[in-house]
Amino acid sequence: MNRYLVCLAAALAGIASLTPALSQEIAGLATGPIIIAPPQTPLAQTIKAGLAGAYTGAPKDSSVYREAQKLYFFYGARHFEPIWLDQSANGAVAFSAPAQKIIKLFEAAGSEGLRPADYLTPELDVTGAKGSPAKMAALETAFSRAVMRYASHIHTGRINPQSVSPALDIEPKKLDEAALLVQLASSPDPVSVLQGLQPTHPEFKALKAALANFDERQAEAPLQIAAGPTLKPGMSDARIPALRTRFELPPTDDLVYDDALVAAMKSFQQSRNLAVDGVVGPATLTAINGGAPLSRADIIANMERWRWMPRDMGDFHVFVNIPEYRLAISRDGAESYTTRVVVGTVKNQTPIFSDSIQHIVVNPYWNVPSSIVKGELAQAVLRNPDYIDSHNYDLLYEGRPVSPWQVNWSMVSTSYFPFKMRQRPGPDNALGQIKFLFPNKHDVYLHDTPSKAFFERDARALSHGCVRVQNPMEFAGALMANEPNIDRASLEAMFGPSERWVNPETQIPVHLAYFTVRPQADGSLRSFEDIYGHNAKLIAALGLGPAPVAPQIVAEAPAADVAP
Protein backbone atom coordinates (compact mmCIF):
# COMPACT_ATOMS: atom_id res chain seq x y z
CA MET A 1 0.00 0.00 0.00
CA ASN A 2 1.52 3.35 -1.01
CA ARG A 3 1.96 6.29 1.31
CA TYR A 4 -1.12 8.16 0.04
CA LEU A 5 -3.36 5.18 0.77
CA VAL A 6 -1.85 4.80 4.24
CA CYS A 7 -2.64 8.46 4.92
CA LEU A 8 -6.12 8.08 3.54
CA ALA A 9 -6.74 4.97 5.62
CA ALA A 10 -5.56 6.79 8.71
CA ALA A 11 -7.82 9.71 7.88
CA LEU A 12 -10.84 7.46 7.42
CA ALA A 13 -10.08 5.60 10.61
CA GLY A 14 -9.85 8.87 12.50
CA ILE A 15 -13.08 10.21 11.01
CA ALA A 16 -14.93 6.99 11.74
CA SER A 17 -14.14 7.32 15.44
CA LEU A 18 -15.75 10.78 15.65
CA THR A 19 -19.34 11.70 16.23
CA PRO A 20 -21.36 11.50 12.98
CA ALA A 21 -21.86 15.28 12.89
CA LEU A 22 -18.15 16.03 13.23
CA SER A 23 -17.24 13.35 10.69
CA GLN A 24 -19.64 14.87 8.16
CA GLU A 25 -18.30 18.40 8.77
CA ILE A 26 -14.67 17.40 8.27
CA ALA A 27 -15.56 15.61 5.05
CA GLY A 28 -17.37 18.72 3.84
CA LEU A 29 -14.47 21.03 4.68
CA ALA A 30 -11.79 18.94 3.03
CA THR A 31 -10.28 20.29 -0.17
CA GLY A 32 -7.71 17.49 0.04
CA PRO A 33 -7.19 14.53 2.37
CA ILE A 34 -7.45 15.60 6.04
CA ILE A 35 -5.21 13.37 8.13
CA ILE A 36 -6.83 12.39 11.42
CA ALA A 37 -4.35 9.81 12.64
CA PRO A 38 -5.51 7.58 15.51
CA PRO A 39 -3.99 8.29 18.96
CA GLN A 40 -1.44 5.75 20.14
CA THR A 41 -1.00 6.66 23.81
CA PRO A 42 -3.40 7.41 26.66
CA LEU A 43 -2.25 11.04 26.71
CA ALA A 44 -2.89 11.37 22.98
CA GLN A 45 -6.34 9.83 23.42
CA THR A 46 -7.10 12.41 26.12
CA ILE A 47 -5.88 15.28 23.91
CA LYS A 48 -8.11 14.02 21.10
CA ALA A 49 -11.17 13.76 23.32
CA GLY A 50 -10.63 17.24 24.73
CA LEU A 51 -10.18 18.84 21.31
CA ALA A 52 -13.17 17.02 19.84
CA GLY A 53 -15.33 18.22 22.72
CA ALA A 54 -14.18 21.84 22.28
CA TYR A 55 -14.71 21.59 18.52
CA THR A 56 -18.25 20.23 18.62
CA GLY A 57 -19.31 22.27 21.65
CA ALA A 58 -18.36 25.75 20.39
CA PRO A 59 -20.84 27.94 18.50
CA LYS A 60 -20.15 27.83 14.78
CA ASP A 61 -18.48 30.90 13.25
CA SER A 62 -17.07 31.88 16.67
CA SER A 63 -13.37 32.46 17.29
CA VAL A 64 -13.41 29.59 19.81
CA TYR A 65 -14.84 27.26 17.15
CA ARG A 66 -12.25 28.27 14.55
CA GLU A 67 -9.42 27.90 17.04
CA ALA A 68 -10.62 24.44 18.13
CA GLN A 69 -11.01 23.33 14.51
CA LYS A 70 -7.46 24.34 13.61
CA LEU A 71 -6.06 22.61 16.68
CA TYR A 72 -8.03 19.44 16.01
CA PHE A 73 -6.72 19.16 12.46
CA PHE A 74 -3.18 20.03 13.55
CA TYR A 75 -2.97 17.45 16.33
CA GLY A 76 -4.96 14.93 14.30
CA ALA A 77 -2.21 14.85 11.69
CA ARG A 78 0.33 13.84 14.36
CA HIS A 79 -1.60 11.14 16.24
CA PHE A 80 -2.59 13.79 18.85
CA GLU A 81 0.86 13.57 20.41
CA PRO A 82 2.02 16.61 22.46
CA ILE A 83 4.71 18.94 21.14
CA TRP A 84 5.12 21.39 24.03
CA LEU A 85 5.44 18.98 26.97
CA ASP A 86 8.09 16.56 28.18
CA GLN A 87 7.42 13.83 30.74
CA SER A 88 10.20 12.27 32.75
CA ALA A 89 10.43 8.61 33.82
CA ASN A 90 8.88 9.42 37.19
CA GLY A 91 5.91 11.15 35.53
CA ALA A 92 6.98 14.77 36.18
CA VAL A 93 5.77 17.20 33.52
CA ALA A 94 7.74 20.15 32.10
CA PHE A 95 7.60 22.37 29.07
CA SER A 96 9.81 21.28 26.18
CA ALA A 97 12.87 23.30 25.16
CA PRO A 98 11.01 25.01 22.25
CA ALA A 99 8.13 25.88 24.59
CA GLN A 100 10.48 27.42 27.15
CA LYS A 101 11.99 29.64 24.46
CA ILE A 102 8.53 30.80 23.42
CA ILE A 103 7.60 31.50 27.05
CA LYS A 104 10.52 33.94 27.20
CA LEU A 105 9.00 35.65 24.18
CA PHE A 106 5.63 35.86 25.94
CA GLU A 107 7.31 37.44 28.96
CA ALA A 108 8.84 40.13 26.73
CA ALA A 109 5.58 40.86 24.85
CA GLY A 110 5.46 44.35 26.35
CA SER A 111 8.43 45.36 24.19
CA GLU A 112 6.26 44.56 21.14
CA GLY A 113 3.41 46.72 22.38
CA LEU A 114 1.51 43.57 23.40
CA ARG A 115 0.32 42.28 26.80
CA PRO A 116 2.15 39.31 28.38
CA ALA A 117 -1.02 38.38 30.28
CA ASP A 118 -2.76 37.58 27.00
CA TYR A 119 -0.40 34.61 26.53
CA LEU A 120 0.91 33.73 30.01
CA THR A 121 -2.54 32.68 31.19
CA PRO A 122 -3.28 30.63 34.34
CA GLU A 123 -3.89 27.64 32.03
CA LEU A 124 -0.12 27.36 31.48
CA ASP A 125 0.61 26.14 35.01
CA VAL A 126 2.56 22.85 34.85
CA THR A 127 2.22 22.16 38.57
CA GLY A 128 -0.31 19.49 39.30
CA ALA A 129 -0.22 17.97 35.81
CA LYS A 130 1.87 14.98 36.94
CA GLY A 131 -0.02 11.73 36.59
CA SER A 132 -3.09 13.40 35.08
CA PRO A 133 -3.51 12.88 31.35
CA ALA A 134 -6.49 15.24 31.37
CA LYS A 135 -4.48 18.08 32.91
CA MET A 136 -1.56 17.44 30.57
CA ALA A 137 -3.89 17.50 27.58
CA ALA A 138 -5.41 20.78 28.74
CA LEU A 139 -1.94 22.25 29.30
CA GLU A 140 -0.73 21.16 25.85
CA THR A 141 -3.66 22.60 23.95
CA ALA A 142 -3.67 25.79 26.06
CA PHE A 143 -0.07 26.41 25.06
CA SER A 144 -0.90 25.93 21.37
CA ARG A 145 -3.77 28.41 21.72
CA ALA A 146 -1.43 30.93 23.37
CA VAL A 147 1.12 30.49 20.55
CA MET A 148 -1.53 31.03 17.86
CA ARG A 149 -2.85 34.07 19.72
CA TYR A 150 0.62 35.60 20.00
CA ALA A 151 1.41 34.86 16.35
CA SER A 152 -1.84 36.45 15.20
CA HIS A 153 -1.33 39.54 17.38
CA ILE A 154 2.25 40.13 16.30
CA HIS A 155 1.45 39.56 12.62
CA THR A 156 -1.92 41.21 12.02
CA GLY A 157 -2.68 43.05 15.27
CA ARG A 158 -4.81 42.59 18.38
CA ILE A 159 -7.75 44.68 17.18
CA ASN A 160 -9.95 44.23 14.12
CA PRO A 161 -9.79 47.61 12.30
CA GLN A 162 -13.51 47.54 11.48
CA SER A 163 -14.31 47.43 15.21
CA VAL A 164 -12.63 50.85 15.56
CA SER A 165 -14.41 52.48 12.62
CA PRO A 166 -16.18 51.38 9.42
CA ALA A 167 -13.92 53.90 7.65
CA LEU A 168 -10.97 51.58 8.32
CA ASP A 169 -11.54 49.36 5.30
CA ILE A 170 -8.60 47.09 6.01
CA GLU A 171 -8.58 43.36 5.38
CA PRO A 172 -6.66 41.56 8.18
CA LYS A 173 -3.68 39.59 6.93
CA LYS A 174 -4.04 35.82 6.77
CA LEU A 175 -1.93 33.46 8.84
CA ASP A 176 -1.72 29.69 8.34
CA GLU A 177 -1.62 28.88 12.03
CA ALA A 178 -1.53 25.10 11.62
CA ALA A 179 1.50 25.31 9.33
CA LEU A 180 3.08 27.75 11.77
CA LEU A 181 2.66 25.32 14.67
CA VAL A 182 4.37 22.61 12.64
CA GLN A 183 7.23 24.96 11.82
CA LEU A 184 7.58 26.07 15.44
CA ALA A 185 7.53 22.53 16.79
CA SER A 186 10.30 21.42 14.43
CA SER A 187 12.45 24.58 14.50
CA PRO A 188 15.61 24.80 16.64
CA ASP A 189 14.88 28.54 16.94
CA PRO A 190 11.10 29.07 17.34
CA VAL A 191 11.68 32.59 18.62
CA SER A 192 13.07 33.68 15.25
CA VAL A 193 10.11 32.11 13.49
CA LEU A 194 7.66 34.15 15.57
CA GLN A 195 9.69 37.34 15.39
CA GLY A 196 9.73 37.00 11.61
CA LEU A 197 5.97 37.58 11.62
CA GLN A 198 6.17 41.17 12.78
CA PRO A 199 6.16 44.10 10.31
CA THR A 200 9.45 44.77 8.58
CA HIS A 201 8.77 48.41 7.70
CA PRO A 202 11.47 50.77 9.05
CA GLU A 203 8.86 53.00 10.73
CA PHE A 204 7.52 50.06 12.74
CA LYS A 205 11.03 49.17 13.86
CA ALA A 206 11.68 52.80 14.83
CA LEU A 207 8.45 52.93 16.85
CA LYS A 208 9.42 49.71 18.62
CA ALA A 209 12.80 51.25 19.51
CA ALA A 210 11.05 54.43 20.68
CA LEU A 211 8.79 52.37 22.95
CA ALA A 212 11.83 50.74 24.54
CA ASN A 213 13.45 54.16 25.10
CA PHE A 214 10.27 56.08 25.96
CA ASP A 215 11.40 57.34 29.39
CA GLU A 216 14.75 58.47 28.00
CA ARG A 217 13.03 60.26 25.12
CA GLN A 218 10.70 62.08 27.51
CA ALA A 219 13.69 63.31 29.50
CA GLU A 220 15.27 64.65 26.29
CA ALA A 221 12.09 66.39 25.05
CA PRO A 222 12.68 69.91 23.67
CA LEU A 223 12.16 72.99 25.80
CA GLN A 224 8.40 73.55 25.97
CA ILE A 225 7.07 76.96 24.94
CA ALA A 226 4.01 78.11 26.86
CA ALA A 227 0.68 78.66 25.14
CA GLY A 228 -0.28 82.23 24.37
CA PRO A 229 -1.63 84.59 21.73
CA THR A 230 -0.55 84.27 18.12
CA LEU A 231 2.86 85.88 17.78
CA LYS A 232 3.61 88.02 14.70
CA PRO A 233 6.84 89.77 13.62
CA GLY A 234 7.51 92.93 15.60
CA MET A 235 5.32 91.98 18.55
CA SER A 236 6.59 91.77 22.12
CA ASP A 237 5.97 88.66 24.20
CA ALA A 238 7.26 87.17 27.44
CA ARG A 239 8.03 83.90 25.60
CA ILE A 240 10.72 85.48 23.40
CA PRO A 241 13.66 84.43 25.64
CA ALA A 242 12.44 80.81 25.63
CA LEU A 243 12.01 80.90 21.86
CA ARG A 244 15.51 82.31 21.36
CA THR A 245 16.90 79.54 23.57
CA ARG A 246 14.90 76.93 21.69
CA PHE A 247 16.31 78.11 18.34
CA GLU A 248 19.84 78.66 19.70
CA LEU A 249 19.90 82.41 19.11
CA PRO A 250 21.87 84.78 21.34
CA PRO A 251 19.82 86.40 24.13
CA THR A 252 18.73 90.02 23.89
CA ASP A 253 17.61 92.60 26.43
CA ASP A 254 14.16 93.10 24.91
CA LEU A 255 11.16 90.86 24.27
CA VAL A 256 10.66 91.74 20.59
CA TYR A 257 9.99 89.08 17.97
CA ASP A 258 12.83 90.34 15.75
CA ASP A 259 14.06 89.51 12.25
CA ALA A 260 16.58 86.89 13.39
CA LEU A 261 13.94 84.93 15.26
CA VAL A 262 11.44 85.32 12.41
CA ALA A 263 14.02 83.90 9.97
CA ALA A 264 14.67 80.94 12.29
CA MET A 265 10.92 80.40 12.59
CA LYS A 266 10.40 80.40 8.82
CA SER A 267 13.19 77.86 8.39
CA PHE A 268 11.56 75.68 11.05
CA GLN A 269 8.14 75.98 9.40
CA GLN A 270 9.64 75.00 6.06
CA SER A 271 11.17 71.88 7.63
CA ARG A 272 7.83 70.90 9.16
CA ASN A 273 5.73 71.43 6.03
CA LEU A 274 3.84 74.30 7.70
CA ALA A 275 2.74 77.60 6.22
CA VAL A 276 5.98 79.61 5.95
CA ASP A 277 4.82 82.97 7.27
CA GLY A 278 6.91 83.46 10.42
CA VAL A 279 3.74 83.64 12.50
CA VAL A 280 3.73 81.53 15.67
CA GLY A 281 0.15 80.28 15.69
CA PRO A 282 -1.29 77.12 17.30
CA ALA A 283 0.04 74.70 14.64
CA THR A 284 3.56 76.15 14.69
CA LEU A 285 3.63 76.23 18.50
CA THR A 286 2.56 72.57 18.64
CA ALA A 287 5.33 71.67 16.19
CA ILE A 288 7.92 73.62 18.23
CA ASN A 289 6.92 71.61 21.28
CA GLY A 290 7.46 68.35 19.42
CA GLY A 291 3.93 67.83 18.20
CA ALA A 292 0.88 66.79 20.18
CA PRO A 293 1.70 65.35 23.63
CA LEU A 294 3.01 61.83 23.12
CA SER A 295 2.30 58.83 25.36
CA ARG A 296 3.28 55.16 25.38
CA ALA A 297 -0.26 54.40 24.27
CA ASP A 298 0.21 56.58 21.17
CA ILE A 299 3.31 54.62 20.16
CA ILE A 300 1.61 51.27 20.77
CA ALA A 301 -1.49 52.31 18.79
CA ASN A 302 0.64 53.35 15.82
CA MET A 303 2.57 50.07 16.01
CA GLU A 304 -0.79 48.29 15.88
CA ARG A 305 -1.72 50.21 12.74
CA TRP A 306 1.53 49.17 11.08
CA ARG A 307 0.48 45.56 11.71
CA TRP A 308 -2.66 46.32 9.72
CA MET A 309 -0.68 47.59 6.74
CA PRO A 310 0.21 45.26 3.83
CA ARG A 311 3.47 43.49 4.47
CA ASP A 312 4.60 44.36 0.94
CA MET A 313 3.66 47.97 0.18
CA GLY A 314 5.34 47.91 -3.22
CA ASP A 315 8.83 48.96 -4.25
CA PHE A 316 7.23 52.02 -5.90
CA HIS A 317 4.10 53.28 -4.18
CA VAL A 318 2.04 56.28 -3.09
CA PHE A 319 1.52 56.86 0.64
CA VAL A 320 -1.01 59.41 1.95
CA ASN A 321 -0.88 60.01 5.70
CA ILE A 322 -4.18 61.68 6.51
CA PRO A 323 -3.35 63.28 9.91
CA GLU A 324 -0.20 64.72 8.31
CA TYR A 325 -2.06 66.11 5.25
CA ARG A 326 0.80 64.80 3.17
CA LEU A 327 1.38 62.57 0.15
CA ALA A 328 4.67 60.87 -0.68
CA ILE A 329 5.92 58.65 -3.49
CA SER A 330 8.45 56.08 -2.28
CA ARG A 331 10.93 54.16 -4.38
CA ASP A 332 12.88 51.30 -2.80
CA GLY A 333 12.18 52.60 0.71
CA ALA A 334 13.14 56.24 0.07
CA GLU A 335 10.78 59.13 -0.61
CA SER A 336 11.23 60.51 -4.13
CA TYR A 337 8.42 63.09 -4.13
CA THR A 338 6.15 64.79 -1.56
CA THR A 339 3.33 67.32 -1.66
CA ARG A 340 0.55 68.71 0.50
CA VAL A 341 -2.96 67.32 0.34
CA VAL A 342 -6.45 68.23 1.50
CA VAL A 343 -8.43 65.34 3.04
CA GLY A 344 -12.01 64.73 4.14
CA THR A 345 -13.71 66.60 6.94
CA VAL A 346 -14.67 64.94 10.21
CA LYS A 347 -18.18 64.60 8.79
CA ASN A 348 -16.96 63.25 5.42
CA GLN A 349 -13.91 61.24 6.42
CA THR A 350 -11.42 59.90 3.91
CA PRO A 351 -11.50 56.11 4.30
CA ILE A 352 -8.39 54.12 5.17
CA PHE A 353 -7.45 51.37 2.71
CA SER A 354 -4.90 50.22 0.14
CA ASP A 355 -5.47 49.85 -3.60
CA SER A 356 -3.70 50.47 -6.92
CA ILE A 357 -3.82 53.46 -9.27
CA GLN A 358 -5.05 52.11 -12.61
CA HIS A 359 -6.14 55.19 -14.60
CA ILE A 360 -5.34 58.86 -15.03
CA VAL A 361 -8.14 61.07 -16.33
CA VAL A 362 -7.28 64.42 -17.93
CA ASN A 363 -10.03 67.07 -18.23
CA PRO A 364 -12.34 64.97 -16.03
CA TYR A 365 -16.06 65.24 -15.68
CA TRP A 366 -17.20 65.40 -12.07
CA ASN A 367 -20.15 63.10 -11.48
CA VAL A 368 -21.71 64.73 -8.44
CA PRO A 369 -22.68 62.28 -5.67
CA SER A 370 -26.38 62.31 -4.83
CA SER A 371 -25.56 63.27 -1.24
CA ILE A 372 -23.95 66.52 -2.45
CA VAL A 373 -26.81 67.17 -4.89
CA LYS A 374 -29.39 66.78 -2.14
CA GLY A 375 -27.41 68.38 0.66
CA GLU A 376 -25.87 71.38 -1.10
CA LEU A 377 -26.44 71.95 -4.82
CA ALA A 378 -30.20 71.63 -4.75
CA GLN A 379 -30.54 74.60 -2.42
CA ALA A 380 -28.46 76.72 -4.78
CA VAL A 381 -30.60 75.67 -7.75
CA LEU A 382 -33.84 76.38 -5.84
CA ARG A 383 -32.60 79.91 -5.30
CA ASN A 384 -31.41 80.28 -8.89
CA PRO A 385 -32.20 77.66 -11.59
CA ASP A 386 -29.50 79.28 -13.73
CA TYR A 387 -26.93 77.98 -11.19
CA ILE A 388 -26.46 74.77 -13.21
CA ASP A 389 -25.54 76.46 -16.48
CA SER A 390 -23.49 79.21 -14.86
CA HIS A 391 -21.36 76.64 -13.00
CA ASN A 392 -20.84 74.40 -16.03
CA TYR A 393 -23.07 71.52 -14.85
CA ASP A 394 -25.18 69.09 -16.89
CA LEU A 395 -28.46 67.76 -15.55
CA LEU A 396 -29.11 64.27 -16.92
CA TYR A 397 -32.12 61.98 -17.04
CA GLU A 398 -31.33 58.42 -18.12
CA GLY A 399 -28.12 59.78 -19.61
CA ARG A 400 -29.76 62.55 -21.64
CA PRO A 401 -29.39 66.28 -20.84
CA VAL A 402 -32.54 68.03 -19.56
CA SER A 403 -33.24 71.65 -18.67
CA PRO A 404 -33.07 72.50 -14.96
CA TRP A 405 -36.02 74.87 -15.54
CA GLN A 406 -38.23 71.85 -16.25
CA VAL A 407 -37.44 70.02 -12.99
CA ASN A 408 -39.37 70.21 -9.74
CA TRP A 409 -36.43 70.73 -7.42
CA SER A 410 -38.55 70.20 -4.32
CA MET A 411 -38.32 66.49 -5.27
CA VAL A 412 -34.69 66.51 -4.16
CA SER A 413 -35.70 66.28 -0.52
CA THR A 414 -37.58 63.04 -1.20
CA SER A 415 -36.04 59.64 -1.62
CA TYR A 416 -36.93 59.68 -5.34
CA PHE A 417 -34.89 62.00 -7.53
CA PRO A 418 -34.11 60.35 -10.89
CA PHE A 419 -31.72 63.01 -12.17
CA LYS A 420 -27.93 62.96 -12.21
CA MET A 421 -25.60 65.94 -12.20
CA ARG A 422 -22.15 66.23 -13.61
CA GLN A 423 -19.77 69.13 -14.05
CA ARG A 424 -18.18 69.53 -17.47
CA PRO A 425 -14.40 69.71 -17.93
CA GLY A 426 -12.99 73.19 -17.51
CA PRO A 427 -10.83 75.41 -15.30
CA ASP A 428 -13.53 75.63 -12.63
CA ASN A 429 -14.28 71.91 -12.51
CA ALA A 430 -14.22 70.70 -8.91
CA LEU A 431 -11.69 68.00 -9.86
CA GLY A 432 -9.41 70.47 -11.60
CA GLN A 433 -7.59 69.28 -14.69
CA ILE A 434 -6.63 65.75 -13.67
CA LYS A 435 -7.62 62.89 -11.39
CA PHE A 436 -5.92 59.64 -10.42
CA LEU A 437 -8.26 56.66 -10.18
CA PHE A 438 -8.02 53.49 -8.10
CA PRO A 439 -11.57 52.09 -8.47
CA ASN A 440 -13.02 51.34 -5.04
CA LYS A 441 -16.36 51.02 -3.28
CA HIS A 442 -15.88 54.37 -1.52
CA ASP A 443 -15.62 56.26 -4.81
CA VAL A 444 -12.65 58.28 -3.56
CA TYR A 445 -9.53 59.16 -5.52
CA LEU A 446 -6.71 61.70 -5.80
CA HIS A 447 -7.37 64.82 -7.85
CA ASP A 448 -6.55 68.41 -8.70
CA THR A 449 -8.71 71.29 -7.41
CA PRO A 450 -9.36 74.93 -8.32
CA SER A 451 -9.47 75.77 -4.58
CA LYS A 452 -5.72 76.30 -4.24
CA ALA A 453 -5.98 78.56 -1.18
CA PHE A 454 -6.87 75.59 1.03
CA PHE A 455 -3.32 74.26 0.71
CA GLU A 456 -1.98 77.29 2.58
CA ARG A 457 -3.79 76.20 5.73
CA ASP A 458 -2.05 74.05 8.30
CA ALA A 459 -5.23 72.07 9.10
CA ARG A 460 -6.59 70.75 5.80
CA ALA A 461 -9.49 68.40 6.59
CA LEU A 462 -11.77 70.27 4.17
CA SER A 463 -12.96 67.94 1.39
CA HIS A 464 -15.94 65.64 0.97
CA GLY A 465 -13.69 62.58 1.29
CA CYS A 466 -11.41 62.54 -1.76
CA VAL A 467 -7.77 63.61 -1.52
CA ARG A 468 -6.89 66.88 -3.29
CA VAL A 469 -3.27 67.19 -4.42
CA GLN A 470 -1.50 70.57 -4.22
CA ASN A 471 0.80 70.10 -7.22
CA PRO A 472 -1.06 67.54 -9.34
CA MET A 473 1.04 67.83 -12.52
CA GLU A 474 4.30 67.56 -10.59
CA PHE A 475 2.78 64.53 -8.89
CA ALA A 476 1.70 63.10 -12.25
CA GLY A 477 5.23 63.45 -13.60
CA ALA A 478 6.72 61.71 -10.55
CA LEU A 479 4.02 59.03 -10.62
CA MET A 480 4.72 58.19 -14.28
CA ALA A 481 8.49 57.92 -13.77
CA ASN A 482 8.41 54.23 -14.74
CA GLU A 483 6.11 54.61 -17.74
CA PRO A 484 7.87 54.65 -21.15
CA ASN A 485 5.03 56.42 -22.98
CA ILE A 486 3.54 58.75 -20.37
CA ASP A 487 5.05 61.78 -18.70
CA ARG A 488 3.99 65.19 -17.44
CA ALA A 489 4.39 66.84 -20.85
CA SER A 490 2.25 64.25 -22.64
CA LEU A 491 -0.49 64.63 -20.03
CA GLU A 492 -0.44 68.44 -20.20
CA ALA A 493 -0.67 68.22 -23.98
CA MET A 494 -4.11 66.66 -23.51
CA PHE A 495 -5.56 69.70 -21.71
CA GLY A 496 -8.75 70.82 -23.41
CA PRO A 497 -12.54 70.48 -23.39
CA SER A 498 -12.74 66.68 -23.78
CA GLU A 499 -12.21 64.05 -21.09
CA ARG A 500 -9.17 61.84 -21.85
CA TRP A 501 -8.33 58.54 -20.13
CA VAL A 502 -4.75 57.27 -19.80
CA ASN A 503 -3.95 53.75 -18.61
CA PRO A 504 -0.41 53.18 -17.28
CA GLU A 505 1.20 49.88 -18.15
CA THR A 506 1.86 49.16 -14.48
CA GLN A 507 -0.60 49.66 -11.66
CA ILE A 508 0.83 51.63 -8.74
CA PRO A 509 0.02 50.70 -5.13
CA VAL A 510 -1.59 53.53 -3.17
CA HIS A 511 -2.08 53.52 0.59
CA LEU A 512 -4.46 55.90 2.35
CA ALA A 513 -3.13 55.60 5.89
CA TYR A 514 -3.69 57.07 9.34
CA PHE A 515 -0.58 57.48 11.50
CA THR A 516 -0.51 60.05 14.30
CA VAL A 517 3.14 59.35 15.17
CA ARG A 518 5.89 59.07 12.58
CA PRO A 519 9.63 58.57 13.11
CA GLN A 520 11.88 61.07 11.37
CA ALA A 521 15.24 60.59 9.70
CA ASP A 522 17.06 62.09 12.72
CA GLY A 523 15.47 59.53 15.06
CA SER A 524 12.93 61.94 16.54
CA LEU A 525 9.19 61.34 16.56
CA ARG A 526 6.61 63.72 15.09
CA SER A 527 3.04 63.54 16.28
CA PHE A 528 -0.05 64.78 14.47
CA GLU A 529 -3.56 65.68 15.46
CA ASP A 530 -5.98 62.76 15.71
CA ILE A 531 -8.41 64.53 13.38
CA TYR A 532 -10.95 61.68 13.06
CA GLY A 533 -10.51 60.23 16.55
CA HIS A 534 -9.28 56.86 15.19
CA ASN A 535 -6.22 56.91 17.44
CA ALA A 536 -8.19 57.57 20.63
CA LYS A 537 -10.66 54.81 19.76
CA LEU A 538 -7.86 52.34 19.11
CA ILE A 539 -6.14 53.22 22.39
CA ALA A 540 -9.42 52.52 24.20
CA ALA A 541 -9.90 49.23 22.30
CA LEU A 542 -6.37 48.17 23.28
CA GLY A 543 -7.26 48.79 26.93
CA LEU A 544 -4.73 51.62 27.23
CA GLY A 545 -7.03 54.56 27.83
CA PRO A 546 -10.59 55.74 28.48
CA ALA A 547 -13.40 55.73 25.96
CA PRO A 548 -12.75 58.65 23.58
CA VAL A 549 -14.85 61.74 23.09
CA ALA A 550 -16.19 62.00 19.54
CA PRO A 551 -14.27 64.55 17.40
CA GLN A 552 -16.01 67.89 17.23
CA ILE A 553 -17.45 68.74 13.83
CA VAL A 554 -16.35 72.33 13.38
CA ALA A 555 -17.02 74.73 10.53
CA GLU A 556 -16.12 72.91 7.34
CA ALA A 557 -15.53 73.93 3.73
CA PRO A 558 -17.52 76.93 2.52
CA ALA A 559 -20.84 76.09 0.86
CA ALA A 560 -19.48 77.31 -2.48
CA ASP A 561 -16.81 74.62 -2.35
CA VAL A 562 -18.61 71.37 -3.04
CA ALA A 563 -15.70 69.37 -4.42
CA PRO A 564 -15.29 65.74 -3.39
3-state secondary structure of 432: coil
Q: pLDDT for 438-484, tens place per residue?
A: 999 999 999 999 999 999 998 999 999 999 999 999 999 999 999 99
Instruction: Identify the CATH number of the domain in which residue 512 sits.
Output: 2.40.440.10
pLDDT of the residue at 183: 87
Instruction: Identify the CATH number of the domain in which residue 233 sits.
Output: 1.10.101.10
DSSP β-ladder status, 366-367 and 525-527: unpaired
Same domain, 445 and 488: yes
Q: Say which residue, 22 or 231, is predicted with more confidence.
A: 231
Which pLDDT band holds residue 324 (cuts at 50, 70, 90)?
A: very high
For residues 325 and 305, give the distance between their C-alpha atoms in angstroms, rounded to a whole number. Answer: 18
Structural domain total, the chain: 3
Same domain, 56 and 98: yes
pLDDT of the residue at 9: 32
Residues facing residue 473 across a β-bridge: none
130 domain-assigned: yes
86 domain-assigned: yes
3-state secondary structure of 338: strand
Tell me the CB-side half-sphere exposure of residue 52, using CA atoms within 13 A: 22
Which pLDDT band holds residue 508 (cuts at 50, 70, 90)?
A: very high
Same domain, 195 and 230: no
145 domain-assigned: yes
pLDDT of the residue at 516: 96
Inform me whether the pLDDT recorded for 510 exceeds 60.
yes
pLDDT of the residue at 476: 98
pLDDT of the residue at 16: 37
Cα→Cα distances 329→337, 448, 547, Å:
5, 17, 35
pTM: 0.81
Same domain, 427 and 503: yes
Q: pLDDT for 353-369, tens place per residue?
A: 999 999 999 999 999 88
Same domain, 130 and 38: yes
The mean pLDDT of 13-17, rounded to a whole number, is 37
Same domain, 155 and 247: no
Which pLDDT band holds residue 246 (cuts at 50, 70, 90)?
A: confident
Same domain, 430 and 480: yes
210 domain-assigned: no
pLDDT of the residue at 402: 86
The residue range of the domain holding 324 is 313-516
Same domain, 252 and 400: no
Q: pLDDT for 72-82, tens place per residue?
A: 888 888 888 88
296 domain-assigned: no
Indicate the average pLDDT of the chain: 86
pLDDT of the residue at 550: 63
Cβ-Cβ contacts under 8 Å for 534 (sequence gap 6 or more): 164, 165, 167, 168, 352, 514
Same domain, 166 and 263: no
